[in-house]
């Protein structure tokens, strides 16, 4: 008990002996491997690993240095989380509140292992929701002319607060490439359709018009290509010819909340490795 749990995410070209070498390294360094999840993309000869380690002593000192040496000879990209501080999260919203209620209540309950530092919006509308939960609310109105200025202010705000993860919980503005590239794979967006169907605006209206029999939602990392970033999680629900656009929105709201909160949890738990435009999502351990 009172052990530290260290999580490593590893990505490298596949080669013989990689698992034995890695596990041997940590064993010799005095760690106990409490879980190891591995995926080899045989087609593309790539190797991915998530490894959770514990250690009784304070022997993590120098670990990075030693591992860095190993990692160079195997061409490994890696990311380490010492589990000693919670990620700081900013939630961005516009008008709709179902994702915000869900994220904040799950945060309050300890289901999302993070610190929600602020809610930011281009409207005043959801201030009461943030305040109900005691979370600071920043009003950051924006239009075409002021976009660069607003984003500059948001960057300042986020950087000053050391924000690790930005969650776009139905923030209905398109962020600039410049802003997005400042937070690589650190912005999660919820799109209210089953991507790649109905990219872009008004997906529920378009789903209604196309007469689909299931609707969905998709959580993905925001990249410079709108709605085309790596997909983290998706889900769908059955609808019928009787479903109006308003019914679709109401059914969709429940899918959006589930999908977004799962994706945020996967990210906070270090379950995700991004590979090109795809994600490896290891199961919770």
Which of 137, 158, 179, 194 is in the footprint of a copy of itself by CB under 8 A?
194
**CA-based nearest residue to 93, from 180, 150, 188, 171:** 171
Which of 5, 11, 12, 23 is in the footprint of a copy of itself by CB under 8 A?
23
C-beta of 86 vs 213, nearer to a copy of itself: 213
Residues between 88 and 127 that touch a copy of itself (CB under 8 A): 97-98, 101-102, 105, 109, 111
Does 59 engage in binding with a copy of itself (CB under 8 A)?
Answer: no
C-beta of 18 vs 119, nearer to a copy of itself: 18
Does 38 engage in binding with a copy of itself (CB under 8 A)?
Answer: yes
Least distance from C-beta 179 to a copy of itself, angstroms? 24
Least distance from C-beta 226 to a copy of itself, angstroms? 15
C-beta of 161 vs 199, nearer to a copy of itself: 199
Binding segment toward a copy of itself, per CB under 8 A, in 18-26, 60-68, 85-93, 179-187: 18-26
Q: What are the DSSP calls for 49-113, one per residue?
A: EEEEEEESSSTTTTHHHHHHHHHHHHT-EEEEE-SSSPEEEEEEESS--HHHHHHHHHHHTT-S-
Residues between 217 and 246 that touch a copy of itself (CB under 8 A): 230-236, 238, 240-244
Rounded-to-integer distance, Cα 266 and Cα 285, Å:
11
Q: Which of 156, 225, 227, 235 is catalytic?
A: 227
- Assess contact for 64 and 80: CB atoms under 8 A: yes
Q: What x-and-dash track marks residues 148-187 binding a copy of itself by CB under 8 A?
A: ----------------------------------------
Which of 43, 72, 144, 160 is in the footprint of a copy of itself by CB under 8 A?
43
Rounded-to-integer distance, Cα 50 and Cα 47, Å:
11
Q: Cβ atoms within 10 A of the Cβ of 245, count?
A: 14
Q: Is 225 a catalytic residue?
A: no
Residues between 128 and 147 that touch a copy of itself (CB under 8 A): 132-133
Binding segment toward a copy of itself, per CB under 8 A, in 71-79, 80-88, 177-185, 188-196: 188-196
Binding segment toward a copy of itself, per CB under 8 A, in 33-41, 115-123, 158-166, 178-186: 33-41
- Assess contact for 208 and 173: CB atoms under 8 A: no
Q: Interface with a copy of itself by CB under 8 A: which residues?
A: 16-21, 23-24, 26-28, 32-40, 42-43, 97-98, 101-102, 105, 109, 111, 132-133, 194-198, 210-214, 216, 230-236, 238, 240-244, 247, 250, 253-254, 258, 261, 277-281, 283-285
Positions annotated as catalytic residues are 227
């Amino acid at each position: 008990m009172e052990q530290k749990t260290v999580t490593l995410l590893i990505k490298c070209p596949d080669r013989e002996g990689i698992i034995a070498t890695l596990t041997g390294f940590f064993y010799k360094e005095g760690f106990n491997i409490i879980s190891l999840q591995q995926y080899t993309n045989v087609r593309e000869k790539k190797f991915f690993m998530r490894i959770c380690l514990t250690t009784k002593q304070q022997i993590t000192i120098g670990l990075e240095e030693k591992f860095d040496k190993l990692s160079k000879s195997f061409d490994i990209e890696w990311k380490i989380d010492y589990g000693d501080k919670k990620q700081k999260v900013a939630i961005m919203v516009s008008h709709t509140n179902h994702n915000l209620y869900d994220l904040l209540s799950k945060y309050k309950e300890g289901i999302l292992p993070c610190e929600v530092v602020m809610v930011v919006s281009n409207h005043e509308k959801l201030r009461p929701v943030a305040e109900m939960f005691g979370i600071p609310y920043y009003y950051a109105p924006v239009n075409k002319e002021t976009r660069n200025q607003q984003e500059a202010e948001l960057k300042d705000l986020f950087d000053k607060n050391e924000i690790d993860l930005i969650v776009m919980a139905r923030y209905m503005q398109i962020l600039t490439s410049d802003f997005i590239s400042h937070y690589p794979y650190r912005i999660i967006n919820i799109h209210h359709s089953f991507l790649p169907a109905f990219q872009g605006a008004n997906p529920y209206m378009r789903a209604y018009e196309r007469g689909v029999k299931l609707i969905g939602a998709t959580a993905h990392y925001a990249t410079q290509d709108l709605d085309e970033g790596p997909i983290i999680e998706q889900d769908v629900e059955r609808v019928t010819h009787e479903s109006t656009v308003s019914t679709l929105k109401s059914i969709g709201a429940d899918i959006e909340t589930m999908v977004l909160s799962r994706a945020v949890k996967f990210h906070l738990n270090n379950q995700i490795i991004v590979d090109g435009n795809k994600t490896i999502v290891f199961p919770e351990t």
